[in-house]
Amino acid sequence: MKEIITVIKEQFEHIGMVFRMSRYEDKADYQSHYLGLAWQILNPAIQIGIYYLVFGVGFRQGQDVGDVPFIVWLLIGITAWFYMSSSILGASNSIYKQIGLVSKMKFPVSILPTTNIVSNLTSYFPMIAIVVVTALFFGISPSVYWIQYFYYFICMVSFLFAFGLLNATITVLIRDYHIFLQSTIRLLFYISGAIVNVENRNLPDVAVKILRLNPIYYIIDGFRDSFLSREWFFEKATYTLIFWGIVLTMLILGSHLHMKFRAKFVDYI
């Protein structure tokens, strides 16, 4: 518990540095591009268009998901997926990529995964605005359920921080882990509910229940519950408890490994 408190305390004590570094990363990544930061929106928008043509027009032939237009259902899920997948991969490589900075000065290494998570919000928030506008355009009216979005946003950031800290530490210790994680993310894309409605794929009930244990599925499904006014998070209490249990387990393990090895990160690399 002491290790968790230390890591979380570092995030709040250096929150200003986190935001400054995230802004620098955004500018550095796109400084040589004519459109600059606009690519943070254009890139996911182009991918969404491709997925809609393939899955919405091609496979589904424009059919709705229940009584919800497929484009709305897709946007809600894939916007969260793009943010989470880029944050997971970016955070996992954050310490390794900045090892030169870590080796030259006394630096709170635990904020590096957080910096990447915050940096990706630059593209996430505009995409959420597009989700809201699209939902309103297709006649989905705001309801009290929309308040629940903030709960699932906290879930998402908490999961990304715990998972990111764990991944970043393991990546330094075992370099092959990052490649393994990339392959795993590709698989999760199809079983986390981002573009495929796993509950309507004629799968056995046991298989669906297992897939719903996935924290990413919990978050994506939660955003859809919120924007589509389906149900409250406490109505699926079992999955909520399992989700927070997974996050807490990853945070405990990640904090322990990070505090144990971070003084030797340079030696491992």
Q: What region does 66 belong to: left with phi over 0, alpha with psi -120 to 50, or beta?
A: left
Measured CA to CA, the distance from residue 154 to residue 160 in angstroms comes to: 10
Report which of 83, 73, 77 is spatially closest to residue 43, judged by C-alpha positions: 83
Quickly tell me which residue has 């928030």 as its tokens.
125
Report which of 102, 14, 104, 95 is spatially closest to residue 258, judged by C-alpha positions: 95
Asked if 221 contacts 193 with a C-beta cutoff of 8 angstroms, the reply is yes
SS3 14: coil
Measured CA to CA, the distance from residue 191 to residue 212 in angstroms comes to: 9
Q: What is the CA radius of gyration of the chain?
A: 19
Above 70 in pLDDT, residue 26?
Answer: no
Name the H helices within the chain: 2-13, 15-30, 39-51, 70-92, 94-97, 99-104, 111-119, 121-137, 149-173, 176-191, 205-211, 215-227, 237-261, 265-268
Above 80 in pLDDT, residue 25?
Answer: no
Per-residue pLDDT averaged across 16-30, rounded? 72
Angle at which helices 2-13 and 237-261 cross, to 10°: 80
Instruction: Output the pLDDT for position 243.
Output: 96
The end-to-end CA distance of the chain, in Å, is: 28
Close Cβ partners of 124 (under 8 Å, ≥ 6 residues apart):
79, 82, 83
- Token output for 220: 């994506």
Instruction: Output the pLDDT for position 105.
Output: 62
Give the burial string for 205-241 (b: 16+ CB within 10 Å, else e).
eeeeeebbebbbbbbbbbbbbbbbeeebbeebeebbe
pTM for the full predicted model: 0.87
SS3 106: coil
Asked if 7 contacts 110 with a C-beta cutoff of 8 angstroms, the reply is yes
pLDDT tens digits for range 45-97? 676 677 666 665 555 555 666 778 888 888 898 999 999 999 999 888 888 87
Between residues 107 and 69, the one the model is more confident about = 69
pLDDT classification of 18: cutoffs 50, 70, 90: confident
pLDDT tens digits for range 167-225? 998 988 888 888 899 889 988 888 888 887 777 666 777 878 888 899 999 999 999 99
Lowest mean pLDDT among 25-34, 176-185, 239-248, 249-258: 25-34
- CA 158 to each of CA 153, 249, 268: distance values in angstroms, whole numbers, following the listed order: 9, 12, 28
